Structure 1
Amino acid sequence: MHLIAATALAMVAAGAHAQAPSAATAAAIPEATSAAAPAAPAPLEVVTRQAGFVKTLKGSVQLQEAAGGAARPAQAGDALLPGGRITTGPDSAASIVLRDGTTLVVGPLSQMELKAFSFDATTHEGNLLAALLKGSLRMVTGLLGKAHPEAVRIETQFAFVGVRGTDFIVQADEQP
């Protein structure tokens, strides 16, 4: 049942982000983040390492900036760094947009960690490795997945998913 809810939310989020941005737009995402979150300017280190940002969320969503760090309630516009983790509660979901235009929609009762992300807006080279620890994840690939699909992978407890399409859903149930 949560997969259906996650899919519905994903379709709404993907509809708002129907096309991957141009290289110029992808490079400008940190500016879009600061416009979405009118808080104090982010430190330069965060902006240069930023993989993407939380675009929308529904319900209880927690953001952990690095492995072992403290989790805090996520807000639209929050930066997502490599090593960051998103955890959603029941009836909750989050949509994340990465610098290359990739959209990740984390469904209810899910946990996703962005293990690695790099992207060169000029050459469209880089890599993306995300781990779906539990729950559901919908991914609409951006420039990186379109130019170098072999560089995009989703890891679960039992398998790696290599990207060969541009829109897919992965579900990972916890071990009994």
Structure 2
Amino acid sequence: MFQTKIAGLLLLWLLTLSSAQGEEVLGYIKTTTPNAFLVIDSKTRPADVGSPVYAGNVIKTDATGSLGLTLKDNTVLSFGPDTEFEITGYFYEPGDDKLKLDMKLLKGTLHYISGVIAKLKPDAVKLNTPAGIIGVRGTHFVVKVEE
């Protein structure tokens, strides 16, 4: 009986550990206005300075909103008003050559300043927009997607 309880607790701990490892922080919000939001699991909440951002989180700003985000590889992303954006894929393990930054800008304005991923492996950075895919070759750009 005691061994069953121990085994159950160990299994629960392992499941919790693997779940936490699957939710890797990609970066943190550095600047924000009151009209900027994070959508996490279909729930919208205000974006606060210092909030972690995970793959699949959607960043939204309204007509007067803006937000600044810095990723683990020092990529800097700045968003203007009426923006909807998502990081759909991110790997930052330079020692193992696992580098990837896939982004999706559905609408709004994005100012991008490249970090380590773009410097080490430029082909690993892509921005999807409704009009097409942008492959990053330079160190910074600004893009605007209108509805």
TM over 0.5: yes
Q: CA deviation at 1:146?
A: 0.6
Structure 1 position 83 matched with structure 2 position 27: no
Which residue of 2 is the match for residue 53 of structure 1?
A: 28
Which residue of 1 is the match for residue 38 of structure 2?
A: 63
Larger Cα-atom Rg: 2
Select the residue among 136, 139, 144 that pairs with 2:109. Answer: 136
- CA shift in 2, pair 1:62/1:163, >3 Å: same
Q: Secondary structure at the match of 1:145?
A: helix
Amino acid at match of 1:152: V
RMSD: 1.7
Which residue of 1 is the match for residue 93 of structure 2?
A: 120
Trace 1:85-100 onto structure 2 (pairs within 5 A). Answer: 85-100=58-73
Select the residue among 114, 124, 132 that pairs with 1:159. Answer: 132
Contact 2:36/2:67 (CA < 8 Å) preserved in 1?
A: yes
Q: CA deviation at 1:64?
A: 1.2
Structure 1 position 104 matched with structure 2 position 74: no
TM-score (structure 2 length as normaliser): 0.82
Structure 1: unaligned runs, 5 residues or longer: 1-43
Aligned residues: 129
Select the residue among 40, 47, 52 that pairs with 1:74. Answer: 47
TM-score (structure 1 length as normaliser): 0.69
Q: CA deviation at 1:154?
A: 0.5
Structure 2: unaligned runs, 5 residues or longer: 1-18
Identity %: 29
Amino acid at match of 1:45: A
Q: CA deviation at 1:122?
A: 3.1
Q: Secondary structure at the match of 2:95?
A: coil
Matches of 1:139 and 1:123 in 2, distance apart?
25
Q: Secondary structure at the match of 1:51?
A: strand
